[in-house]
């Protein structure tokens, strides 16, 4: 049985294919002008790998998740980030997703999304975003730097 995750974002599409919990294929492509056309191209690529409806479960996420008609399930990227982080790190933490349309900061506790915030499009990709996120997290920009250094030291 194959498990396929498809993330159709506003600018790029990411695909992960698992067989019996082992990652066997990754794909990355530009989303282009149409999420639906991108989903069709992905389906053709999956068929070339021998993946079809009867031998797979497909989950779609991202900005274009509703454009994947062959997906068994559609899930928000916030939920996917939470589950992925919990799977990889086993504990709580923070996920920062800098996307083509927005940026999200997601707080994870005990494998679940506790809270999240998103920037507005006006501050996307600017230093103002870092300032806004630090403020929302209740720390200063200087605190962010020291938090990063503490984390790095504890892991090395």
Could you read off the pLDDT of 90-133 as tens digits, one per residue? Answer: 777 888 887 777 788 999 888 889 999 887 665 555 556 767 77
What is the structure's pLDDT at 156?
A: 42
| % residues pLDDT > 70 (the chain) | 84
- CATH number of 2-74, picked from 3.20.20.10, 2.40.50.140, 3.30.420.40, 3.10.580.10: 3.30.420.40
- The pLDDT value recorded for residue 97 is 83
pLDDT reported for residue 85: 84
Confidence of residue 23 (pLDDT cuts 50, 70, 90): very high
How sure is the predictor about 59, in pLDDT bands with cuts at 50, 70 and 90?
Answer: very high
Average pLDDT, the chain: 85
pTM: 0.75
Angle between helices 127-137 and 141-155 (to 10 degrees): 80
Domain edges within the chain: 2-74, 90-155
Give the pLDDT confidence score for residue 50 in this predicted structure: 96
59: Cα separation from own chain's centroid: 12
Predicted confidence at residue 51, as pLDDT, reads 96
C-alpha count within 13 angstroms, C-beta hemisphere, residue 98: 7
How far apart (Å, rounded) are the C-alpha atoms in residues 106 and 117?
7
The answer for 62, left when phi > 0, alpha when psi is -120 to 50, beta otherwise, is left
- How many angstroms separate the CA atoms of 135 and 62, rounded? 26
Segment holding 150, helix H or strand E: helix 141-155
Report residue 151 as tokens: 């984390």
Confidence of residue 152 (pLDDT cuts 50, 70, 90): very low
CA distances from 43 to 7, 36, 154 (A): 13, 11, 43
Percentage of the chain surpassing pLDDT 90?
46
């Amino acid at each position: 049985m194959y498990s396929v995750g498809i993330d159709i974002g506003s600018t790029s599409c990411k695909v992960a294919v698992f067989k019996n919990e082992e990652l066997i294929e990754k794909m990355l492509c530009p989303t282009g002008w149409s999420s639906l056309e991108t989903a069709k191209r992905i389906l053709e690529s999956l068929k070339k790998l021998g993946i079809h409806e009867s031998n797979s479960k497909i989950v779609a996420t991202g900005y274009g998740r509703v454009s994947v008609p062959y997906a068994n399930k559609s899930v928000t990227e916030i939920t996917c980030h939470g589950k992925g982080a919990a799977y990889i790190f086993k504990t709580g933490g923070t996920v920062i997703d800098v996307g083509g349309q927005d940026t999200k900061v997601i707080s994870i506790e005990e494998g679940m999304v506790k809270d999240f915030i998103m920037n507005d499009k006006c501050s996307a990709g600017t230093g103002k975003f870092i300032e806004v996120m630090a403020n929302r997290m209740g720390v200063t920009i200087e605190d962010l730097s020291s938090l990063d250094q503490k984390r790095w030291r504890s892991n090395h």
